Structure 1
Amino acid sequence: MERSRRELLCRAGTVVLAVGATAGCLDAAAGDGPQGPAGTPETLSCSEDGFVRLDTPFEEPVASRTVEPEGTGTTVELSAEGTAETYGQPIRLVLRNTGDDSVGTRGEHAYSVQRRTGEGWVDVRGSTTGEAVDLPVEDDALDAGDTYSWSIDLEESTIASAVPDRELGVCPPLGPGPHRFVYWGIVEAPPIGIEFELIG
C-alpha cells in the first residue's frame, strides 16, 4: 500500500513526540524531586554506614512564632515567607527581636530541621562520621531590632552543609510531607518553630 510523503512525516512526528514524552517521564522518575518517604512515616530510618542522627537538644514544647524570654519584657518573633515550599527551592526565615531589650542567644546555628513521624518530630540530619555530634553553640545576643536570617535550599546537600565544621548528612532523603524549623537558642525561652509542607 502506497503512502504519501506527508503522511509518513506526520507519523514519524507522532512517534518522536511519544518517545519524548516517555523520556521526560523517565527523567522525572530518575531523581528529580524528593525521593524520601511521603506523608508521615512511622520513623526515619537510614541504612547508610556511619550515620548517627542528631539528638533533639530541647525537651520543652515548641512555641509557635513568638516567645517572650523570661525577665526581659521583650518579644522574639520567627517568621517565614510561606508554609509550603517545593523541593530544591529555598525556605526563608527571619528571627527578629521586636522588643526594646537585648536577648541572649546560642548563635545562629542553634536550630533543628525536623520531620513529623509517627514517633514524633525527628531531625532529618545526622553525623556521617559514625560518632554523635552536637551542633555549635556560642554566646551571642540579639539587640533590639536585630535579626538572624536563613535561606536554606530544601535539598539534602544544602541542609547538611549549612552548619560549619560538622560532617553532616540527611538520611533518608527528604520526602514530601510536614516538616518544621525550630530555633532552640534563645536564652530563658522555649524553642520557637514554624511548620512547613515540603512538596514535590
Structure 2
Amino acid sequence: MVLFIVAIFVIGFFSYVMYLQSKNDSLQEALSTAERKIQNLNCEIKTHLLCIDLLQNDVEEARKSLVNMERLEKENASMFETIQCTTKENQSLQDEIKSIKHQKAEEFINNLERERNAAQKRESEYSIKLQNEQACLKKRLQEIESLKQEAEDSKLCVICDEAAKNVVFMPCGHCCSCESCYDSLPTKICPVCREKIINTQSIYIS
C-alpha cells in the first residue's frame, strides 16, 4: 500500500515537473516574442525619431528659404531700380555710339580715299619701274642673242667662215679652221699664233 502511494506520488511529481517544464518553455517562447516585439518597437521608435529629425531639418530649411525669399525680393527691388538706371545709361550710350559711328564712318571714308590715292601712286610707280625693267630685260635679251651669235660665229672656220672648225693644230693647240682649209694652206703655219704646225687632231664641236 505504501509502495502504491509512493508510486502515485512519484508519478504526480513527474507530471508536475513536466507541466512546469512545458510552462517554462511557453514562458521562454513568450519572452522571446516579447523581446522581438521590443526590438521592433525600438526600430520603429528610431525610425520615427529619424523622421522627426528630417522634419525638423525640413522646417529649418523652409525657414531659411523664407529668409532667402525675403532677401531675394529686396535684391529684386534693388535690381529693378538698377535696371532702370542702366536702361537710361544705355540710351545715352547708344546716342553717343551713333555719334561716334558717324565720325568713324567719315574717318574711314577719308582713310579709304587716302589709301586709294596712295595705291594709285604706287601703281604708277610700279608701272614705270616695270617699264624700265622690261626695257632692261629687252636689252639683256639682245645682248644674249648677240653673244649667242658670236658663239655660233666662233665655231666657224676663220679662213672660209663657212664650215665648222674641226682641226686642232699641234703643238700650239689652236682650233681655228676646217680640214678643207687646212689641206689648202700653202704653208703649215697656225693662222692665229703663226707657229709651225707639226701635227693635227680632228675634233667635232657640237
Which TM-score bucket, shorter chain as reference?
A: under 0.3
Higher relative contact order (CA 8 A, sep 6+): 1
The higher radius of gyration belongs to 2
TM-score (ref. length: structure 1): 0.25
Higher strand share: 1
**TM-score w.r.t. length of structure 2:** 0.24
Q: Which has the higher helix share?
A: 2
